[in-house]
């Protein structure tokens, strides 16, 4: 098996990474930074986002496994004291073996960013946000090429289903099961009075829909794609839609999504 490990960079995570390498060597795994079959993230959900964007060009060929070193993450199935069990299960899997991992696929967001200075494309695992740097954001929101609303407020968040448990939840958005191919658009502190009006409610758009966010004044903005930040002062528009590709996670044991939600927010 070809594998690669990315850790959070703190001492505990780095020690676990070295332990994983030792155990993997005993099972004759091959460390491969160029074309791994499995990428192991050791840290938290932020580490998984880093791993995802590190291998963004090879997403169709890779499955991810998360090991959390702190609080339970939504992208991590394994605790720090379970590395030996994880390595054992990984070593027992094969092309025809009964212990093959279950591969689950989560939807992603595809972003097309248009600026006066040029265009760029991104894929997000958690969310995309657009926020103002100096003051109120003024942006026109179109759905399927038809004007929906003129937004005024602090910003807009567009999340994947798996990302709905993160910033989207803090904004009052709904948590969506990641088997549902959709994106959620949530307002960040919108202005609603007798003069200005927005829907004021999160929107869930299916796979075959798209939304466009147009900058409607000269404004400095901060665009974020997961953990990546991009200051922009010449934005024209951003198109958001469910991506054609998905991220794959290797499940070596069951861990249902709603169990993750309960453990993270209720237990």
Average pLDDT, stretch 105-113?
Answer: 98
pLDDT above 60 for 31: yes
Please tell me the predicted confidence (pLDDT) of residue 100: 78
Please tell me the predicted confidence (pLDDT) of residue 264: 85
The predicted-structure confidence for 110-149, as pLDDT tens digits, reads as follows 999 999 999 999 999 999 999 999 999 999 999 999 999 9
pLDDT above 70 for 222: yes
User: Is the separation of the CB atoms in 115 and 52 below 8 Å?
Assistant: no
Please tell me the predicted confidence (pLDDT) of residue 74: 86
User: For a pLDDT cut of 90, what percent of the chain falls above it?
Assistant: 89
212 is catalytic: no
Which residue among 7, 45, 77, 226 is the active-site one? 45
DSSP per-residue string spanning 137-148: EEEEEEETTEEE
- For residues 97 and 23, the model is more confident at 23
| 264 membership: H or E segment, kind and range | helix 257-265
Give the whole-angstrom CA distance, residue 152 versus residue 188. Answer: 9
pLDDT above 80 for 225: yes
164: phi then psi, degrees, rounded to nearest 5: -70, -15
Average pLDDT, stretch 13-38?
Answer: 96
Domains and CATH numbers, the chain: 2-101+252-266 (3.40.50.10330), 108-245 (2.60.200.30)
| First-residue to last-residue Cα distance in the chain | 36
The predicted-structure confidence for 233-266, as pLDDT tens digits, reads as follows 999 999 999 999 999 999 999 889 999 899 888 8
Going by the annotation, the residues of the binding site for NAD(+) are 45-46, 50, 126-127, 152, 154, 189
Please tell me the predicted confidence (pLDDT) of residue 233: 97
Cβ neighbours around 189 below 10 Å, total:
12
Going by the annotation, the residues of the binding site are 45-46, 50, 126-127, 152, 154, 189
Give every CB contact of residue 172 below 8 A, 6+ residues apart in sequence.
186, 202
Please tell me the predicted confidence (pLDDT) of residue 205: 98
The predicted-structure confidence for 171-190, as pLDDT tens digits, reads as follows 999 999 999 999 999 999 99
Please tell me the predicted confidence (pLDDT) of residue 239: 98
């Amino acid at each position: 098996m070809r594998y690669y490990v990315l850790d959070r960079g703190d001492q505990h995570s780095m020690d676990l990474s070295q332990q994983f390498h030792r155990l993997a060597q005993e099972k004759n795994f091959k460390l491969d930074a160029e074309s791994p079959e499995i990428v192991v993230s050791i840290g938290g959900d932020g580490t998984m986002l880093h791993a995802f964007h590190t291998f963004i060009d090879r997403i169709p060929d890779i499955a991810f496994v998360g090991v959390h070193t702190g609080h339970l993450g939504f992208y991590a199935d394994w605790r720090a004291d379970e590395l030996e069990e994880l390595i054992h299960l990984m070593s027992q899997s094969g092309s025809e073996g009964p212990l093959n991992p279950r591969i689950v696929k989560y939807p992603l967001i595809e972003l097309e960013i248009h600026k006066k200075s040029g265009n760029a494309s991104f894929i997000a695992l958690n969310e995309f946000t657009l926020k103002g740097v100096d003051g109120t954001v003024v942006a026109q929101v179109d759905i399927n090429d038809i004007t929906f609303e003129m937004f005024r407020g602090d910003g807009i968040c567009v999340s994947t289903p798996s990302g709905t448990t993160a910033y989207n939840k803090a904004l009052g958005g709904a948590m969506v099961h990641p088997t549902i191919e959709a994106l959620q658009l949530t307002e960040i502190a919108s202005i609603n009075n007798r003069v200005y009006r927005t829907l004021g409610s999160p929107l869930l758009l299916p796979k075959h829909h798209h939304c466009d966010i147009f900058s409607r004044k000269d404004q400095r903005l901060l665009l974020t794609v997961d953990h990546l930040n991009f200051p922009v002062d010449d934005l024209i528009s951003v198109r958001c839609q469910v991506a054609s590709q998905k991220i794959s996670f290797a499940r070596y044991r069951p861990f249902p999504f709603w169990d993750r939600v309960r453990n993270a927010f209720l237990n």
